Each structure stands twice: as structure tokens, then as C-alpha cells.
């Protein structure tokens, strides 16, 4: 009888799968508290939000915030806040800004001194802009599509009045909650890179891509806010005629809803 040694084997295959993840946050309209509005997992591939197949784990929409604060933008425009100020040009006193008390609106609190007309006197909006922001943290490059909606097809013409829309990224700052201490711009070219050229809201009647990044925002260890960057949108109205407002257009209030969809391409 011969004695021999016995031997056995066992296999163990630990497996960890870290999904691509994008977190979008802004503020709660009710309390102005920062909230996460979208939690997106990369579960598909595609060059547009509709085709990407990504999963958004939070169904509700979120509201942007006023740039430089964590106050949510209002749900709807209130006519009682006053009208958009404009400038009077080529008067006998030169150019007159109708916002005499510098509160950003034209109302009965503004006071004028009589002025004379010339054959070139005119009125126009001057650098009339609105800005808003939202925040994004990611462990993967992502893209953003945008689409503008008006109350009806008949009112689509108002999209022509908002002549320009621009977006940029602010990598870090403090808006009541500091952000970006452990972040990098979502594009290697910096905060102004990765965006589509400037365009009118008229161009967004159908969804279009407005940003495509090539790197994650999270650079080093940190909190969600630390690893977030701020996306800033600016909308402006041009001066006169078809490029902006003229007295021939009368009086009106209008509001445009723009839906930004963040996805992993």
C-alpha cells in the first residue's frame, strides 16, 4: 500500500460593477433647500437623450436656481413684478434708461424728466438678460439635450424674440452651499467647451444636443457638492424689429419652458 497527499481546489470570483452615474441637483421651490432632482444610471448607449436608454431613478422634474444663489426660479412669471426695462435712444438728452431706480424692472416707481424727440428717436431693449443654473456631479462623461415649449403652436413666434441662448460651466463657487472643491469641468477644454454654438430658442422647438462632455466632474474624493459643477444658462432679447421687441408688438407676458435632459451617450 502506497501513501499519497490529497489536494483540492475552490474558485472565488468577486465581481463589482460600478455603473456610470450622473446626479443633477438644484433647489426645492418650496423651501429653497438643495435637492437632488435626477439620479441617472448609464444603462444604454445613444447620441441623443431619447435613444440613450439611460434610467432616471427620480421621475419628477426639478427647477433651476437663480444664478449665484440657491433660490429656486419661480414656477411662472408674475406680471405684477413689473415690465422689462428698455432704453430710449436719440432723444435731445441722449440715451435714457427707463429703469431709473435700477431695480431691474419698469414700473410706476420709475420717474422721468421730460425729453425731446428727434427724427431718429427710438426705443429698444438693451442687454436684457435672464440667467439660471443647475448643478451636476458625475463619475462618467455625459451630454445634455434641450427642448423649448410654448403654450401653443400659435405662440411659437415668441421664441423668435429670445434671440440668443448661451450656456457655460462654473467649476466651483459658493451659492449658499459651496461646490466644486473636488471637481473638474466636464470637458477637458474648460468651462466654455463642449457646448453647441449660440442659438435661438426657435432652434429648440425640437430637442437638440447642447452639450457633450468628455470627462467626469468628480476629480478627487469629496461630497456630492464638492464633486459638482454649475451649468449656467443665459437668455437674452435683442434690440428692435424681428430681432427683439418693438412697440408695434403691443403688450404681452410670455413664458417659455425649457427642458434639459442629462444622459450618458
Query: Which residues of the chain form beta strands (DSSP E)?
Result: 21-27, 34-41, 55-56, 65-66, 87-91, 94-97, 122-124, 128-138, 143-149, 164-170, 173-174, 178-179, 208-212, 228-239, 244-245, 257-263
Residue 171 located in a structural domain: yes
For 14-57, the pLDDT digits (tens) are 888 888 999 999 988 888 889 999 999 998 888 888 778 888 89
User: Residue 163 pLDDT > 70, yes or no?
Assistant: no
| pLDDT category of residue 153 using cuts at 50, 70 and 90 | low
Cβ–Cβ < 8 Å for 145, 209: yes
Residues 6+ apart with CB under 8 A from 102: none
Confidence class for position 240, pLDDT limits 50, 70, 90: very low
83 DSSP β-pair partners: 106
> Do residues 164 and 255 lie in contact, with contact meaning Cβ atoms separated by under 8 Å?
no
Number of domains in the chain: 1
Instruction: Convert the pLDDT of each residue in 96-131 to its tens digit.
Output: 988 899 887 888 889 999 999 999 988 877 656 788
> What does the pLDDT average to over 51-66?
86
Predicted TM-score (pTM) of this structure: 0.82
Q: Average pLDDT of the chain?
A: 85
Residue that wins the pLDDT comparison between 14 and 160: 14
| 98 domain residue, yes or no | no
Structural domain of residue 29, as residue ranges?
21-78+130-263
- Residue 144 class from Cβ within 10 Å (0-12 exposed, 13-18 middle, 19+ buried)? buried
Whether 109 is covered by a domain: the verdict is: no
Asked if the structure places residue 106 within a domain, the reply is: no
- For residue 61, being part of any structural domain is answered with yes
Cα 18 vs. chain centroid, distance in angstroms? 28
Predicted confidence at residue 242, as pLDDT, reads: 42
What is the pairing mode between strands 244-245 and 228-239?
Answer: parallel
Helices (H) and strands (E) counted in the chain, each on its own, are: 1, 16
Q: Do the domain assignments include residue 146?
A: yes
- Mean pLDDT calculated for residue range 213-229: 97
The answer as to whether 64 is a domain residue is yes
Quote the pLDDT of residue 136.
Answer: 98
pLDDT at 140 over 80: yes
Indicate whether 112 belongs to any domain.
no
Nearest to 37 by CA among 194, 209, 224: 224
Amino acid at each position: 500500500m502506497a501513501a499519497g497527499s490529497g489536494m483540492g481546489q475552490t474558485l472565488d470570483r468577486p465581481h463589482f460593477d460600478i455603473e456610470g452615474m450622473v446626479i443633477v441637483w438644484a433647489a426645492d421651490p418650496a423651501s429653497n433647500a438643495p435637492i437632488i432632482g435626477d439620479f441617472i444610471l448609464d444603462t444604454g448607449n445613444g447620441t441623443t437623450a431619447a435613444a440613450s436608454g439611460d434610467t432616471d431613478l427620480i421621475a419628477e422634474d426639478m427647477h433651476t436656481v437663480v444664478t449665484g444663489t440657491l433660490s429656486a426660479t419661480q414656477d411662472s412669471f408674475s406680471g405684477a413684478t413689473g415690465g422689462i426695462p428698455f432704453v430710449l435712444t436719440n432723444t435731445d438728452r441722449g440715451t435714457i434708461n427707463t429703469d431709473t431706480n435700477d431695480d431691474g424692472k419698469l414700473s410706476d416707481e420709475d420717474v422721468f424728466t421730460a425729453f425731446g424727440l428727434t427724427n431718429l428717436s427710438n426705443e429698444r431693449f438693451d442687454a436684457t438678460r435672464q440667467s439660471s443654473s443647475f448643478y451636476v456631479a458625475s463619475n462618467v462623461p455625459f451630454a445634455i439635450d434641450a427642448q423649448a415649449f410654448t403654450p401653443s403652436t400659435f405662440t411659437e413666434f415668441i421664441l423668435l424674440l429670445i434671440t440668443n441662448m448661451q450656456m457655460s460651466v462654473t467649476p466651483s463657487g459658493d451659492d449658499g452651499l459651496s461646490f466644486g472643491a473636488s471637481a473638474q469641468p466636464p470637458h477637458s477644454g474648460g468651462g466654455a467647451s463642449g457646448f453647441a454654438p449660440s442659438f435661438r430658442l426657435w432652434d429648440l422647438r425640437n430637442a437638440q444636443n447642447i452639450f457633450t462632455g468628455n470627462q467626469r466632474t468628480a476629480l478627487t474624493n469629496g461630497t456630492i457638492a464638492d464633486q459638482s459643477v454649475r451649468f449656467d444658462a443665459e437668455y437674452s432679447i435683442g434690440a428692435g424689429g424681428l430681432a427683439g421687441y418693438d412697440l408695434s408688438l403691443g403688450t404681452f407676458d410670455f413664458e417659455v419652458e425649457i427642458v434639459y435632459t442629462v444622459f450618458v451617450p
